[in-house]
Amino acid sequence: MVRQNKTSPLEQPMQNQETQLPGSNVLNHLQANAQAGGNSPVPPVAPASVVAPRSRYSQILESPELDTLTPIQKEFLKERWQEQISWFSRRAKQNQNWYNRIRLTTIIGSIVVPALLSWGSVPLTAFLVSPPPSPEFGSPTAQPRLSITDPAMQHQLQLYRAALITGVGLSQLVAICAAVEQFFKFGDRWRHYRRSAELLKTHGWQFFELTGPYAPYSQNGKHTEAFHLFASQIEEIIQSDVDGYVSQITIPKPFVREDR
């Protein structure tokens, strides 16, 4: 005797909708099948993993269109193109993060420091400096108009003193951040590494598609003939990167305080 699985009228539209959609989610299909009481086995499907940029480039290098390249040429693509792109991109991201943090600290500190100093110095001076006795008080031994023995006044003095200390400390932090950015040149390093990485990517995709300077080799459709030009372009970019780093990044710049 065969047992028939019965489904409610509310569950039938769900099953019909998933059978009509070829791209429906496998997890929803399993849930609907469990609710319907079905026993049909469904093969498990592994979730699609996110492909990293480095592995994506590795898949491109292993494509059948590049089978005509020699092992030495493929090794050049891995060591002098793929590895350099990964290194330049990683260094550009690191320097960009440091540059943004230091610049934001410098900008915010340069705005907050004058406000703290002006807010804390003027009232504090008025409270600390006792006004001289005037004839309107009668005798020269008259009490000053402002007294620091008042608890409310003491509380305000503490606030003003805290503002002064915070302003002075923050001004030193701004000066330190400006000096560190001038020394390490995170902004120049970020732009330098990003430019080299994008140039390598551009020449790589032009070589794969046989466009740009490699367009004359697209008639034969072989990358072997265009590889010599591609290798010379990559080496020129790397050499230009080294020359630019030595001539621009390593040259010390005069320190200029940015909190003034």
Side-chain half-sphere CA neighbours of 181 within 13 A: 24
For residue 171, the tally of other CB atoms under 10 A from its CB is 19
Which contiguous run of DSSP H or E holds residue 204?
Answer: helix 186-209
Q: What pLDDT, in 10s, does the model give residues 183-204?
A: 999 999 999 999 999 999 999 9
C-beta of residue 230 within 8 angstroms of C-beta of residue 66: no
Q: How far apart are CA 233 and CA 231, in angstroms?
A: 5
Terminal Cα-to-Cα distance of the chain (whole angstroms): 92
CB-based burial label for 203 (10 Å; 0-12, 13-18, 19+) = buried
Which contiguous run of DSSP H or E holds residue 202?
Answer: helix 186-209
Q: How many residues in total does the chain contain?
A: 260
Which residue in the block uniquely carries the two structure tokens 């990517």?
201
pLDDT for 19 equals 41
pLDDT for 197 equals 95
SS3 assignment, position 24 = coil
Report CA torsion sign: 191, 193, 195, 197. Answer: negative
pLDDT for 11 equals 45
pLDDT truncated to tens, each residue of the chain (260 aa)? 444 444 444 444 444 444 444 444 434 544 555 455 545 444 444 444 444 455 677 888 888 888 889 999 999 999 999 999 999 999 999 999 999 999 999 999 999 998 888 877 766 555 555 455 555 555 555 444 445 566 777 777 788 888 888 889 999 999 999 999 999 999 999 999 999 999 999 999 999 999 999 999 988 768 899 999 999 999 999 999 999 888 888 776 554 454 44
Contacts of 217 (CB under 8 A, 6+ apart): 210, 223, 225, 226
For the chain, give every domain's residue range. 70-131+144-249
Global pTM value: 0.63
